Structure 1
Amino acid sequence: MREGAPDPDLYDYKPFQDRPRIEWPDGKTCAVWVAPNLEYYEIDPPANPHRKAWARPHPDVVGFSYRDHSNRVSYWRMADVMSKHGFPGSVSLSVALCQHHPEVVQDGVQRGWEFFSHGIYNTRYSYGMDEAQERAIIEDSIATVKEATGQRIRGWLAPALTHTPRTLDLLAEYDFAYTCDLYHDDQVQEVKVAQGQLASIPYSLEVNDHYGFNVYGMSGREYADCLIRQFERLASENEASGTVMCIPLHAYLIGQPHRIRPFEEALRHIAADPRCWKARAGEIVNSWRAQV
């Protein structure tokens, strides 16, 4: 056997077919949660030595304004389609949006959406942070979202998917229920932490609209078909155990006029299927936690 980096031991190895059966409410077989990323990107963020915020030189007017389409126009297209077909949002929130565009956050509150933290800005990375800095971001997230929405956040998606070796332990210490930062499973799983409990809820890179459009080069129709295929397979595996499907979205992508119609058709298809449990992230984790 070749020697390599040690197993990080973040979670136990449990093959899908050997697990206890998970059952969702009312006999549903696939819990579907929609995760709109409501973000704020700084036009000229402070430099992080580990990663550039923009591919282009700062200030990147093009990158900033393109993403600002979310908070000016396309958020409402996306949100209205979700509400029309009964999907509540579980919002991956750049917490600074509470100050920059509180109207967007309040609209989500009025729709009954759940909020969790995606860091302060999506242009500020966890790489290289010391413990005091990371604690400050977590504490700021809790306080800011509580003031803006009345909710005590229970979930975490690291800013721009960046971490430190202590991130998961800190989340458990601050009594978070779930992280979206592990992509290893199609069911909720226990995360090994120094103290307390933390669950990993399935998020997705494969059916994330950012990857669909910007990495895989999909058309709006191809992306919608991908969502349907993802759901159909996961919903059909109920003989083993209830599964989870996440639909991660960015309004400036999915809410463009030429993409919104096929996206709506995909949501209509999934919502009409009696195997679909339209849920918030926290509800899924609560149901799983009550069974394990």
Structure 2
Amino acid sequence: MPLPTHDRYPFSMIDQRPAFDWPQGKRLAFYVCFNIEVFAFGEGMGSDVGLANPAPNHRSYAWRDYGNRVGLSRMLDLVDELGLPACHNVNSFAYDMHPQMFERIRRRGDEIIGHGRTNAERQAPMWEEDERRLIRETTEAIARHEGRPPRGWLGPWLAETRVTPDLLQEAGYTYLLDWACDDQPIWMRTRNGRILSIPYPIEVNDSPAIVFRQHSAEDFADMIVDQFDEMLRQSEAQALVCPIALHTFVIGQPFRMRHLRRALEHCAKHPGREQVWFTRPGEIAEYCYRLPEHALA
């Protein structure tokens, strides 16, 4: 009896694919993604400094709220200092709760990515109509505040149902970040067409690395440096994507920021930076949609 499968994409080994370049012949697409999340007080889901899935309490709420009150500003200071673009996975309820956060992001021209309504919930147990409503409400809220809907999506907790890619494609999304299965963008099948999956990290991601796996801030900075250096070397053979995922309430703590600064400086000032496309996932998606269909897996 065959194993159950998703039927979203065919299997493909990276060294057996057609070659392509990023714009201007660059080899490594590098992007930094901030997660801007809001949580219900005393209700719903959320990570904690001590427990992965705690009962809601004021301590865990305040720790996460630190990211919006303090961490985000410090992290924006850092990417400003280094001249790096950024993108932001945004819970749409953040516009109602903390609209001040978005003034500076707009001035930078950063990309807003749909990230559900709040990380106090996730899509995984939802019925299709409830999930469709969640996607619609998120999309409409971002479009109302930003003047245009988001093109990309990352589910809260990277959670999906069996129909999430279908619903996203039908809602007008051109790419998603939920499938950490490759170092190149790949096409995914949906019931009404295709949608692009762009690499997003589970490993080089401060929340699972620091909160769940208990790595230090120094360890995480070393991960960024090693990931960047090794992928830059590997990109000589295949054009690749190197994403870095950051949470304002995790890496935005001052003692961790010091190590993040070291890591991002290494990437931004690397001697091989002429081969690096410092970009955002929406720009990666736009470029991929212009490539011949057979260029991607």
Instruction: Answer whether TM exceeds 0.5 for this pair.
Output: yes
Question: CA RMSD for the aligned pairs?
Answer: 1.7
TM-score normalised by length of structure 1:
0.92
Q: Supply the AA of the counterpart residue of 1:277.
A: W
Structure 1 gaps, min length 5: 48-52
> Does the CA contact (< 8 Å) of 1:106 and 1:149 recur in 2?
no
> Does the CA contact (< 8 Å) of 1:34 and 1:90 recur in 2?
yes
Partner of 1:169: 166
Query: In 2, Cα distance between the equivalents of 1:172 and 1:267?
Result: 33
Query: In 1, Cα distance between the equivalents of 2:52 and 2:13?
Result: 39
Partner of 2:155: 158
Matched, 1:286 2:286: yes
Matches within 5 A, 1:205-224: 205-224=202-221
Partner of 2:48: none
Query: In 1, Cα distance between the equivalents of 2:206 and 2:54?
Result: 22
Q: Supply the AA of the counterpart residue of 1:276.
A: V
Higher alpha-carbon deviation: 212-221 or 166-175? 212-221
Question: What CA deviation, in whole Å up to 9, does each residue of 1:15-50 have, x standing for no partner?
Answer: 111111121122321101111000001123358xxx
Give the number of aligned pairs: 284
Alpha carbons of structure 1 residues 170 and 90: separation in structure 2 relative to 1, 3 Å: same
Higher alpha-carbon deviation: 280-289 or 91-100? 280-289
1:22 to 9, 17, 20: 20
Query: In 1, Cα distance between the equivalents of 2:221 and 2:53?
Result: 28
Question: What CA deviation, in whole Å up to 9, does each residue of 1:167-206 have, x standing for no partner?
Answer: 1111111121111100100000001111122000000010
Q: Supply the AA of the counterpart residue of 1:281.
A: P
For residue 116 of structure 1, give the secondary structure of its aligned residue in structure 2. Answer: strand
Matches within 5 A, 1:1-292: 3=1, 5-45=3-43, 55-58=53-56, 60-272=57-269, 273-292=273-292
Q: Supply the AA of the counterpart residue of 1:95.
A: S
Question: What CA deviation, in whole Å up to 9, does each residue of 1:132-165 have, x standing for no partner?
Answer: 2111111111211111122320111112222211
Q: Supply the AA of the counterpart residue of 1:208.
A: N
Q: Supply the AA of the counterpart residue of 1:18.
A: Q
Higher alpha-carbon deviation: 271-280 or 95-104? 271-280
Alpha carbons of structure 1 residues 219 and 128: separation in structure 2 relative to 1, 3 Å: closer
TM-score normalised by length of structure 2:
0.91
Query: In 2, Cα distance between the equivalents of 1:74 and 1:125?
Result: 24
Question: What CA deviation, in whole Å up to 9, does each residue of 1:241-267 have, x standing for no partner?
Answer: 210011110011111111112211211
Query: In 2, Cα distance between the equivalents of 1:46 and 1:77?
Result: 28
Structure 2 gaps, min length 5: 46-50, 293-297
For residue 259 of structure 2, give the secondary structure of its aligned residue in structure 1. Answer: helix
Higher alpha-carbon deviation: 88-97 or 237-246? 237-246
Higher alpha-carbon deviation: 246-255 or 25-34? 25-34
Measure how far apart 1:83 and its partner are: 2.0
Alpha carbons of structure 1 residues 22 and 111: separation in structure 2 relative to 1, 3 Å: same
Question: What CA deviation, in whole Å up to 9, does each residue of 1:103-126 have, x standing for no partner?
Answer: 112221121110111100101121
Measure how far apart 1:86 and its partner are: 2.0
Higher alpha-carbon deviation: 139-148 or 91-100? 139-148
> Does the CA contact (< 8 Å) of 1:45 and 1:124 recur in 2?
no
Alpha carbons of structure 1 residues 269 and 172: separation in structure 2 relative to 1, 3 Å: same
- How much identity, in percent, do the aligned residues show? 31
Measure how far apart 1:291 and its partner are: 1.7
Measure how far apart 1:54 and its partner are: 7.8
> Does the CA contact (< 8 Å) of 2:52 and 2:211 recur in 1?
no
